[in-house]
Amino acid sequence: MAKLVLSLNLQNFAATQYAGYAFDSCCVTASKQVLGANEHGVFMLEEPVHDEGNIEWFFVLPTSDLHEDNQKRIRKINVGGKAEDDFLFSLAADDNDEHDIDVVMDKTDLSQCSGRGNGRRDKFGRYWSVKVSGVQDFSLDAIEFEAVILGHNIKRR
């Protein structure tokens, strides 16, 4: 059975996620050789080659009510950091259908910058789930949500 593995680089605290990992454990020897072990034995692992292009990645933020009991709309998403490309934020309110927001970065050369994405007026709810994804090298310093807080009696369409 394939496994999901999370790896943390202790030099720069960069996290990596591997899907479909076929080993129960792995280690790095003093000579920098990576070994993987499963029920069939111990294997020497080689440096991965990614000829297909960029590696797709994502992370999911904890579901939140943004410290407000009322329903709300996400009007804008502001981010700060460094990136080689834009970000895709997938939002879902109260476990409803996801909708995507493109967050366009000011610079895409891995220099410090900011980016902004516009929300939708027709999507609202109390609890929000957020998935951030992309296909580039990045470093995020801040994610800020601008929300419109709604009254108690909301008519659904």
CB-count exposure of residue 77 (10 Å: 0-12, 13-18, 19+): buried
What is the rounded average pLDDT of the residues 101-122?
A: 90
Higher pLDDT, 107 or 4: 107
Q: What is the CATH topology of the domain spanning 57-149?
A: Jelly Rolls (2.60.120)
φ/ψ of 106, rounded to 5, equals: -65, -40
Please answer whether residues 77 and 117 qualify as being in contact, where contact means their C-beta atoms are separated by less than 8 angstroms.
yes
Segment 67-104, tens digit of pLDDT:
999 999 999 999 998 888 899 999 999 988 899 999 99
Flag whether pLDDT at 116 surpasses 90. Answer: yes
Angstrom distances, CA of residue 55 to CA of 17, 51, 94, 97 = 10, 10, 30, 26
Domain ranges of the chain: 3-45, 57-149
127 has pLDDT over 90: yes
Percent of the chain with pLDDT over 90: 38
Here the tokens at position 35 are: 């070994």
